Structure 1
Amino acid sequence: MLSFATEFPVSPDGVETIFVDTVRRWVLDSPYTVFSEADLAHFCLDGEFNTKLNGQFLSSVYIRQSEEVVLGAQLITIDKDIEWNTSIVLSKNSDDCWIGIRTSREAVSPAVNLPKAKKPVVVRSILGALSGSLDGDFEVQDKPHFLTNNDIILASRIISGDTGSRLPIVYISVSYNGRLLVDAGSLAQKLSGMAHVVVEPNRPFSQRLQIEVNSSNVYGGALGVYWPDAAARRMVIIPTDYDRVSELRDDIFESIRSALLNRQPLYRCTWAAVREALSRKIIEDLKSSGSKEINDYIEQFDQEQLSIKQNLSDAEREIARLRSEIKKYNAISAPGAGISIKNVAEQELYPGEIFDVIIESLEDAINNTVPNSRKVHILSSLVKSNSVSSHRGDDRSRLKAVLRDYKRMDGKTRSELLDLGFSITEDGKHYKLIYKNDPRYTFALSKTGSDVRGGLNSASDIAKRLF
């Protein structure tokens, strides 16, 4: 069962020597290895190499033809009734150089439980030894990419999946007070070789981006995963939905890992492509030797290969055409059974807010419409089929709980209000609360709560305007 798969471009400068040294070091430094330096004396030399020792199998292939290089290693290990198979492939030509890493694991017996899938250590080793190259608009690295105020067009290409990259992009928006709700550095390290991590600079940038992409961007501290094909699935992550930051990182990692497994691999970076290159070299060598006995077989083999390649090329063109059609469809289609709501200028203060307001407004309209009328039947059907989130109700309850016994702005009260999305400044005899940094939603709160119901009254007034 395949458990990990990725491909990423690297710099071609000195890549072959560095690649061989890094993979050899990875094999020898593994706590599970049974091989010694002497066992690997011919590892990754020209042609094919195989060795077997105490249940471990190591193979390598090195083919160089003109400007094309195919270099691969495969390590198979049986440990505690689990067979691990890791292949690492380098594919270099005159245009670029790519690394492909795939790991699979199989239980030897049905009673064995497979451990949680992880990113192979060799991914970080290779990225540490080799310089990442450009993948579309972004260089492969283990650090975040920080956008500037001049990168609106680049950000819009991320949202629409038009950056030309193969790896997905994790876009981190800033919160309403301009802070990041996740550690972008640690997330970039965890996803290195699997995805690019991109950070927007500030809230005004997010608001400008909203106009550019018709409100399809993440915002307010949320994270979005965007794939280099607008037809691919997207994902929105809300950091406040997680109790611990580590849970958020693990969830993003697992989602991207799973998606990479189901994506069609870059064939040139697979072990099958390595074996094909080796077979092709053997046949070319036989041709060059003038062996008459196999000339007919070689001719038929060549014809079959041409046919296979032509069919593959036709299939790839059809896939590209279908993706283009899906992209067009996604651009014009709208969710719902014949209901279309155009993007509005208002940016949601939490994901799904506009939808929640619409459904709640429909509920209010039902109470003010002639009973048992066609209008009531339609509105009731819509409300019944579309539930609202609990966000508005939860925040309303939290606000009332915070201000219920309000006497002064102590540390706990301030922390709770900040967590709800309010910024707090002093304004004479009152505090000024601004919700989500939107000056339209500014409220005054007394510095001293003399009235026993003063806090609840303030909470009620605020909740009526916001929730």
Structure 2
Amino acid sequence: MQIYSAMIPVKETFSKKEFVRLLLEWNQGSPHDRMKGVRWQEEQRLLAVEDLPEKRIIAARFQKTDSYGMIWTSDLVLNLEEKRLSVRLDQEVTEQTSSFFYRFSPPYFIRLVIRKGYAGIDGRLPVTGKPVSLGIGEKELAERVLLGKEHFQLPIVYLTKKWDGCYPLNAELLSEQLQGTAHVLKETTPELGKLLRKKCNGENPHHGAIGIYYPCVSAENKKIHFEPYTEEILLQKIVNMIYRYENQQTVR
């Protein structure tokens, strides 16, 4: 069962050689999944790489069986033609599985790609694990985002400040959990929201409301009001919405 999927643009410098080097760094740096001397197959783990030069694609699969008998499969596909990295995580139970309760986090590989500076530019926004601040100087960009006039490959989470001048949740923590699967934009001043109201017919999120904007026209944009939720529940709700959207996208 697929439980996580993401596609992010990458830079030209993220070559096949760098992909493999980062793959080994990812495995050898893991406190739980490190394979001794990168033995490509162990009793509970498998690491495989396949190069398809005619399609300018290199792919890797890491598979492990945890202590509960649950099988986890991470697929990493670098398409050099499209300059795009696809990451997918599958979870499978067997007759030997002793527990069906699980929690997961996205493969750490995607965070490494961002941290090492290989993530590319999506439209006018960098793919990053940090929120992007929007002030009065970024009014034109904010307006185009809210009106759907700016094209992005990734969803956008748009944060506004509450009446007390605080955000309804921790923008840095949200960005860290999304790990580049969505852009997190945050208004730095309520004055920006006031300027946007006229252009957006008052439909722009403001005073703590959060907007979710999807690049796919078949997905309906959302506006979330923070009042009914605790910060922890609100954060998890948004993360789940983004993950659910990404899981529904077709990966060739």
TM-score under structure 2 normalisation?
0.89
In structure 2, the residue matched to 1:88 is 76
> Are the aligned partners of 2:127 and 2:180 in contact in 1 as well (CA < 8 Å)?
yes
Partner of residue 62, structure 1 = 51
- Equivalent positions of 1:35-434 (< 5 A) are 35-37=35-37, 39=39, 51-65=40-54, 69-79=56-66, 80-93=68-81, 96-109=82-95, 112-243=99-230, 245-265=231-251, 267=252
Give the drift of 1:30. Answer: 3.1
- Name the amino acid aligned to 1:107: V
Which consecutive unaligned segments of at least 5 residues does structure 2 have? none
Q: Please say if residues 10 and 130 of structure 1, whose CA atoms lie closer than 8 Å, have aligned partners that are also in contact.
A: no
Deviation at 1:111, TM superposition (A): 6.1
> 2:27 is matched with which residue?
27
Q: Which whole-Å CA distance do the structure 2 matches of 1:217 and 1:38 have between them?
A: 51
**Comparing both structures, which one devotes a greater share of its residues to helix?**
1
Alpha-carbon distance in 2 for matches of 1:114, 1:69: 39
RMSD (CA atoms): 2.2
Shift of 1:36: 2.0
Give 3-state SS (helix, strand or coil) of 2:246's partner: helix
- 1:138-173 CA-to-partner distances (Å, cap 9, x unmatched) read 110111111231333322222233321111000011
Q: Using the aligned pairs only, state the percent identity.
A: 22
- 1:8 & 1:33 partners in 2: Cα distance? 24
Task: State the secondary structure of the residue aligned to 1:186.
Answer: helix
Letter in 1 for 2:74: T
In the alignment, the residues of structure 1 paired with residue 209 and residue 16 of structure 2 have an alpha-carbon distance, to the nearest angstrom, of 40
Q: Number of paired residues? A: 250
**Aligned partners of 2:138 and 2:159: how far apart in 1?**
14
- Flag the 1:227–1:53 CA change in 2: closer, same or farther, 3 A: same
Structure of greater relative contact order (alpha carbons < 8 Å, 6+ residues apart):
2
Q: CA deviation at 1:231?
A: 4.0
The answer to which structure has the higher strand fraction is 2
1:246 alignment partner AA: E
Superposed displacement of residue 209, structure 1: 1.0
Structure-2 separation of matches of 1:176 and 1:26: 43
Contact 2:4 2:88 in 1 (8 A): yes
Deviation of the 1:34 alpha carbon? 6.4
Contact 1:174 / 1:202 at 8 angstroms: preserved in 2?
yes
Gaps of 5+ in 1: 40-50, 268-467
CA distance in 2, matches of 1:136, 1:38: 37
Which digits, 9 at most, give the CA deviation of each residue in 1:220-270, with x for residues without a partner? 111111111344222223333223x232222211121112111223x2xxx
Counterparts of 1:208 and 1:118, CA distance in 2 = 38
CA pair 57-179 structure 1, distance change in 2 beyond 3 A = closer
Counterpart-to-counterpart distance in 2, 1:178 and 1:53: 53
Q: State whether residues 113 and 119 of structure 2, in contact with CA within 8 Å, keep that contact through their aligned partners in structure 1.
A: no
The alignment partner of 1:52 has SS state of coil
- Is the 1:18–1:129 contact (alpha carbons within 8 Å) kept by the matching residues of 2? no
Give the superposition deviation at 1:114.
4.0
- Kept after mapping to 2: 8 A contact 1:171/1:198: yes
**Distance (Å, rounded) in 2 between the aligned partners of 1:215 and 1:230:** 21
Q: Is the 8 A contact 1:107 1:114 kept in 2?
A: no
